[in-house]
Structure 1
């Protein structure tokens, strides 16, 4: 019933990684009856009382007992209080009374109300065993990964403007994701949070799935359904900072508890939040337990760890000073998570050039296994927003990423941050007229899909949302009434399914042998050509991207193999809204060097388009007199029989 000495020792040491089993509200059995135990950490409090619907919010008869000198308080109420609302009434050293939600509550009132709710998480029956076995058999590094980033409340709304519940979204969102070929859904934070427009990034209840969309069991059902359809679920997670609403973690017992004592370190001026004190052992226990909690109870497949750059360096300074507490915390977090499940995705949203973010901690790394490639995103979008005639001066923006593409395990993000707050939608970033915009967006997606690295696309991008993300409204689904948006949606479906079938586009994402430039220097025409390779030579693809609206015929491209090449994908196909400049016939390689390759082909280059070619394989056949005829083809090192 009471916490053990070992539990308390580990909590204050920063290594109690299942602290949610002790802290918070729990139903416990004693002498054949169900009672409710409450436990909270409030090291500076003078008194702590429990208030709620079971005592008319009067805590005089429900004062918690301080069970150690480090500020752990507990009470056992001899009743089953499941479903009751509650808060902690904290009397500070200077006599103030604070009403605080439970930091470890599993459920909370729907905003704008702020009380915690006694809730038992046990009892949901999972049906995702096949998914769990698949994850162990097929590690993600050599598999396709295309993540659909979703804000749960604004993907789609009901006719009356109400949000879909977790359970209802299982029927709405999951079939859509499967149809489009995405491999994972990444959900903007679902921890309890008071303000809709914080998108969940400013939380108050780290253990409480937000009640906006239903109960914790409803969220489990949604994730379970995703897994049954072969879709992984990644949760946006914010261990760096939290909101300062009165009922939350901020100054929890009247003094800095979860946050730094020093105001310079504590205050996150840009976001109006407070930074977690990552040097405090109890905060380590709270946050690392939280990661394991989501993995254990919700079967989350991974985390996109928000604002890593804001953690790695001390805030509010013009000089970048590394924060040793944050570095130590991130390493420990990743070590513990991967010890729990080596197949978890730990994705760092880091905009800095900090080295070895995705290297193991034993090799001096931070221990993540993926990092958002923010540099690629910024450079490519800058290039795409540049007019066709000026792109030749920005050529380096498209080539620079390959100088560091293999220094980390990268995910290429086209995320929510780039289509909100006046930045315009991806479609509307494209220069030119109506047709130009769609053609260039198709080209951008093609380049995105063929560049080394896993992929992420924010919702609405798949059908060419014209307006930027309106974070209080649903996506502009009425755009499906317009031909070009339907064609864009079909294009993304085709591109995604093509990507998943082509091993060259994902098998060697983290191996430099998987990429080779053919022509990286054609700035004048803004044409890029390169090779993607899988583990087997027959999976090789030739990719040609034309970032101008000029069409070229009989354009020479160097190739590595002496064989014929078949066009297998072309974004200029009329079915996608293009002009139809495609290469219908096989393109036979000629034994003349070009672009530093031993052979070349001549092909049609469509305007604002990506063209993908695959070398054909000649089969053995019979000659006119029944004699065996062997076709000659080339390897990277030359021809062979």
Structure 2
């Protein structure tokens, strides 16, 4: 193997200027390892940021992992970038950077922060890789603006790649990306979900972190295959008309030696003061958002997945932990900002810049915030003072609803406001209703196990919950296994319990979710006005005594009436006020026999009675099934007379 050619560079003076300024958002084209031809010789160019290093060399299987063999050269522009070209080094070569710091004689072997591929954990080397791929998702890319729009149906199936399905006859191994492509797109399409959201796929050393402790911000985990394999999975999903959202974690990173921490013998990526640079909850490090080069690194990472992997959105993890300097800290454990407040001004600037860049370059995608506080204007444009996200998880709705549903129905009437309160703020942000992985781990039990009563009532409650969720304003998210009523809590080391679908109650829940997805996607009243108060109106929210709520979803022409009975007591001749006379067709009923219910309903619908009720000009006399959601649609003509 030849030595390093040190006069080769991918950097221009303008690139360096942008990098220093914190405005270079395509760093993955400059940093890392890149296959190229120089003077007719194929080889690999390397570039790494280590401003406090005395020397940087590339070590790998090509030189017997020698630390003092292939030295990179520091640029003379003060950027801290080291670079060089190694002829003959081709795709598949494993490597690390050996860094000798200017300080304390510190030296360390580091993975490449910009690597496109890493060795399969527990191995930690980076791998030279060519990202070339021939995409076949042209149709999706042309039309995805409409598919990702806030006015479109967005129903997300949240997936952890390692535990969706396994191969028990082969040692319970994971499915690969390509094997997933044979099963997941078809299943998601059959169930009617519009998007898939993957828990973080970026390389992570500890599998039990579910991907939330990232070391490879530009590399999909090699546990399931190569970058091209992951591209193939996304490609297949797109070909089936399914969008792809990735979890992305700019809030913290782990302390594994091969990762970003103490990169060149100094606190390069993390804030030096542990009161700003270390998470007490997660025992991980916090990025220094005030450092220009770190902002460039993070925004380049986010942009990379849109650019190279054609993704349709990112869900940004733990935004609240970034916004507040006192997050999960006691008095004296945090540093106020320059104005004496608890807001992290550098992180706020970073978040705003992130959203401006992503929407500026990819206006047909979405960024989604997991933000658990009442921070104002999370989903409002930055030019009016917002953070600039497209959507925000509605954690308040989730907590209130799950607490309410866990109560014995006899006590629910005393907590009626937990059902009705969410509408008071439902349109303050562009909300998504999440029933995510976080609610079915760490001893919380599955959604089904949270439900009270005997088995019949548990399943009825679960169908009721989903009926309420899919008709409440806001986009939808369900974690895998919830859609068929998994009994057990999620276990990242095992497959979902697919055998449960052989049982009628579980198959009934699955069919109910499929039909809810179908109705949600086909009825504009249920999705076009998810973030517009003009699309929602109460029929009656005051019947706390019987734990019944009734509300309207409308799009101007069409009107749907949803009535939810949160007790196991059927209600007969139950009066509900409606705005229009005529026939109201029963389009879905969670108590239908095919869903596992008792079959109590309204014989196809109900004709209005021309007498005022609850300030409405007309009313219906309905049969409400026990623990049931019933959905009616007003018909412009009486179908019984046609």
Task: State the TM-score, normalizing by the size of structure 1.
Answer: 0.95
- 1:114 aligned to 2:124? yes
Deviations 1:480-501 (A, max 9, x none): 2322111111121122112211
Deviation at 1:550, TM superposition (A): 0.5
Deviation at 1:620, TM superposition (A): 11
Deviation at 1:181, TM superposition (A): 0.4
CA distance in 2: counterparts of 1:607 and 1:454, whole angstroms: 27
CA distance in 2: counterparts of 1:363 and 1:477, whole angstroms: 48
CA distance in 2: counterparts of 1:407 and 1:24, whole angstroms: 42
Deviation at 1:341, TM superposition (A): 0.8
Match of 2:288 in 1: 277
CA, structure 1 residues 564+50, in 2 after alignment: closer, same or farther (shift >3 Å)? same
CA distance in 2: counterparts of 1:471 and 1:21, whole angstroms: 34
CA distance in 2: counterparts of 1:586 and 1:232, whole angstroms: 35
CA, structure 1 residues 312+173, in 2 after alignment: closer, same or farther (shift >3 Å)? same
CA distance in 2: counterparts of 1:428 and 1:137, whole angstroms: 37
Task: Please say if residues 185 and 234 of structure 1, whose CA atoms lie closer than 8 Å, have aligned partners that are also in contact.
Answer: yes
Secondary structure of the residue that 2:18 maps to in structure 1? helix
Match of 2:65 among 32, 46, 57: 57
Off by >6 Å, runs of 4+ in structure 1: 619-622
Task: Please say if residues 16 and 79 of structure 2, whose CA atoms lie closer than 8 Å, have aligned partners that are also in contact.
Answer: no
Deviations 1:434-483 (A, max 9, x none): 00000000000000000000000000001100011011111111212322
Deviations 1:146-201 (A, max 9, x none): 00000000000012211111011000111110110000000000000001110000
Deviation at 1:81, TM superposition (A): 2.7
Match of 1:334 among 350, 355, 378: 355
CA distance in 1: counterparts of 2:64 and 2:309, whole angstroms: 33
CA, structure 1 residues 545+411, in 2 after alignment: closer, same or farther (shift >3 Å)? same
5+ unaligned residues in a row in structure 1: which ranges?
623-630, 632-641
Secondary structure of the residue that 2:15 maps to in structure 1? helix
5+ unaligned residues in a row in structure 2: which ranges?
1-7, 332-340
Secondary structure of the residue that 2:173 maps to in structure 1? coil
Deviation at 1:139, TM superposition (A): 5.1
- 1:396 aligned to 2:453? no
Match of 2:297 among 276, 280, 286: 286
Match of 1:129 among 124, 133, 138: 138
CA distance in 2: counterparts of 1:121 and 1:589, whole angstroms: 62
Secondary structure of the residue that 1:423 maps to in structure 2? coil
Match of 2:24 in 1: 16
Match of 1:440 among 461, 464, 467: 461
CA distance in 1: counterparts of 2:485 and 2:192, whole angstroms: 17
Task: Please say if residues 155 and 193 of structure 2, whose CA atoms lie closer than 8 Å, have aligned partners that are also in contact.
Answer: yes
Match of 2:335 in 1: none
Match of 1:625 in 2: none
CA distance in 2: counterparts of 1:556 and 1:441, whole angstroms: 25
Deviation at 1:35, TM superposition (A): 2.4
| 1:210-359 pair list within 5 angstroms | 210-314=221-325, 315-318=327-330, 321-359=342-380
Task: Please say if residues 558 and 597 of structure 1, whose CA atoms lie closer than 8 Å, have aligned partners that are also in contact.
Answer: yes
Deviation at 1:334, TM superposition (A): 0.4
Match of 1:360 in 2: 381
Match of 2:562 in 1: 543
Task: State the TM-score, normalizing by the size of structure 2.
Answer: 0.95
CA distance in 1: counterparts of 2:78 and 2:578, whole angstroms: 73
Q: CA RMSD in A?
A: 1.5
Deviations 1:289-341 (A, max 9, x none): 11111111100111000000000011453478110001000000000111111
